[in-house]
Structure 1
């Protein structure tokens, strides 16, 4: 079966009465996840298996091992999720799966399982953009944000500011020119000798540090624009590392790095909100779980009079709840889920369009 991209738009609209549950499957990298989401009742069940222990000995994700583990885990996880939701395959209204971007082998596992379920039960198959899933993750919360809003998407592979006018209406405002912010966290953690995955360990170490012992630059904040650059911070940490002797000094260095990163993100978010005129900011992606970043953005929101939305920490990292939610939104709002099964390791968010909008 060919693995290529079908058109995402359709002029046809599904009836507004469609509110049956959607099963979501996520296998883009090193988490195997399933969820059932209903547009009326919300999230009915979600399950996730993390491969962190599998990859820790290698200091990073090994794609072949990731794919094999997805194969072993996905079918039992689907059964467990459906059982927890209290529904069966016959009660579903569609099957959503992460089609990209991600590791191609890992993506193909989830796509194949989703296609098999959809074919066996005569259900629509809904390919979901991984980043759109993250953008819509705050919709899982109560209250949920309303369109339009500005989104900060921060993860191990992405750092982006996006103007979100509605479903499929996304404008990239700025992005990292080199390392993603999560990547910068992981690389700095490795310099400090912290275990994989390094970002959460660095944040915990930084909690014990003093903020002004190590002062690092806030990159690209002294010039206009909304792009980011974090590779230089890693170099600055490497230069400062010989001065970080002892556990307290290492904590101080971690704190200095975290302060520099979070200050940079907050400054750019403030600029983005001025540029868009939006009064709502949502934060998504794994780094969105960082407590210091959340505290600073809440303080900025209180000072500037906008509202900040954050998904729960479990929905910041890769998960299937956001995929099921995005799939449900696409199905209800007019997305025609036809065309061949596809996966793609690279898929610019700008390629997504609103339902009913021609290319």
Structure 2
């Protein structure tokens, strides 16, 4: 298994590693694995490989050097199956693993920022990214998407050959036992809206701030909470901006955490007004498991999590007024927090249980009967 950053091996793929080690010798690779992640991966029963791929950016010299080193590491392991997720592991990791007899699978966890084509620079980057994907995916054994929109995009842009096996397995999945409430939710007196994501504009932070302003003008009593790390990438919200927002009282910045569960449990409604190229946000799945109603955008990867009016609301992207209207519904009708939250939990059990997701993944890779 090849991941894009070390902590994802545990935070996103830990349950899959636990499932795989039951039947296989497993190696987990990611850039710059530290002692903490190594200990956690090895405690599961998998082996660790530290790669040198940078998580972001395209530097041909560095990427080529990392690819050649990783190819030597893979050759020594001589794997039978390789699964890679996120762009660099898919593009470079699967290319490094191109040996006779090795079955290679790509897991597309969203298009990401590489396909933003808002200006000349981003269009040039997107052209390069498409070329890299096209070159790698033409010879893999299968491509797995987290939503149907992404599959359609890859097909329409000629990034998949007609013969390559492809399919949609919605979401990373969530461990329903791990994301379990300690106490049942109660009727909120003051509705707390929780946002969890990297602090980048494309996740809908400007719209969330504007929605808070609109609701404050109506003298609504509520709280908007932000949880997530400051991202230095283009589009990131700077620490200074975060501090100013916190000081203004429009949002309550909670910082970062290795365990989102207490924050989700303490909140009432989960909100993610994103227009980023999502796969299927894990944070939404976690919030659903913990009986929280959802406000998110009618956007690829997000629309799969909400049945309008059943467990939350879908809003247009970049629309602060629609976001404010959806938030106001919960402020004025707090009983809907409990009703829709329970429906979120039922949907999570049905659609996003990590054990069901992982079995579908293994079946796609023809590993479930091995």
The alignment's TM-score, normalised by the length of structure 2, stands at 0.30
Structure with the greater relative contact order (CA < 8 A, sep ≥ 6): 1 or 2? 1
The alignment's TM-score, normalised by the length of structure 1, stands at 0.31
